[in-house]
C-alpha cells in the first residue's frame, strides 16, 4: 500500500519538475502569488450563478467532485512552491494559524456568529 505523500515529498517533486523544465526563471515570488490568485478564481468559478443549495446538490456528480479536487490541487501546489521559496513549513504554519484563530475567536464570544474578531 502506497503511503500518502508528505508535503516534503510533494515539494521535492515540484522543485524537480520545475528544474527539469528550466522554469525557475518564471517563478518569481510575485508570479507565484499572481498564479495562485488565478487558480483561486478558477475554483470560485464552479460556484458562479449558483445558490448554496444548487452547488451542494451538484456534489453528488463525480465530475464536479473531480473539478473541485483538481482546482484545489492547483492552489495547493502553488502554496508549496511559495513555502519553499520563502522558507517555511506549510503544515506548521497551518497549525500555528489554528491556534492564533483560537485566541482571536474565543468560543464563548464567537459561538454562532460570523462577526469579525474586531467586532466581538
62 binds a second copy per the rule CB under 8 A: no
The CB-of-54 to a second copy minimum distance in angstroms stands at 9
Among 1, 63, 103, 114, binds a second copy (CB under 8 A): 114
Q: Could you give the residue ranges of the DSSP H alpha helices within 1-120?
A: 7-20, 29-44, 52-58, 62-86, 90-104, 107-110
Site for a second copy, residues 72 to 111, rule: CB under 8 A: 72-77, 79-80, 82-83, 86-98, 100-102, 105, 107, 110-111
User: How many Å apart are CA 92 and CA 94, to the nearest integer?
Assistant: 5
User: How many Å apart are CA 84 and CA 117, to the nearest integer?
Assistant: 31
Question: What are the two backbone dihedrals, phi and then psi, of residue 54, each rounded to the nearest 5 degrees?
Answer: -60, -45
112 binds a second copy per the rule CB under 8 A: yes
The CB-of-118 to a second copy minimum distance in angstroms stands at 14
117 binds a second copy per the rule CB under 8 A: no
All cell numbers assigned to 73: 490541487
User: How many Å apart are CA 96 and CA 103, to the nearest integer?
Assistant: 11
The CB-of-91 to a second copy minimum distance in angstroms stands at 5
The CB-of-104 to a second copy minimum distance in angstroms stands at 11
Amino acid at each position: 500500500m502506497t503511503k500518502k505523500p508528505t508535503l516534503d515529498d510533494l515539494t521535492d517533486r515540484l522543485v524537480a519538475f520545475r528544474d527539469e523544465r528550466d522554469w525557475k526563471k518564471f517563478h518569481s515570488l510575485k508570479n507565484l502569488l499572481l498564479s495562485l490568485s488565478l487558480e483561486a478564481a478558477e475554483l470560485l468559478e464552479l460556484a458562479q450563478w449558483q445558490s448554496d443549495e444548487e452547488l451542494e446538490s451538484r456534489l453528488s456528480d463525480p465530475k464536479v467532485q473531480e473539478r473541485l479536487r483538481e482546482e484545489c490541487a492547483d492552489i495547493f501546489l502553488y502554496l508549496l512552491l511559495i513555502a519553499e521559496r520563502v522558507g517555511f513549513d506549510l503544515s506548521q504554519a497551518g497549525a500555528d494559524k489554528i491556534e492564533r484563530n483560537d485566541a482571536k475567536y474565543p468560543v464563548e464570544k464567537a459561538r454562532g456568529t460570523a462577526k469579525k474578531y474586531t467586532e466581538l
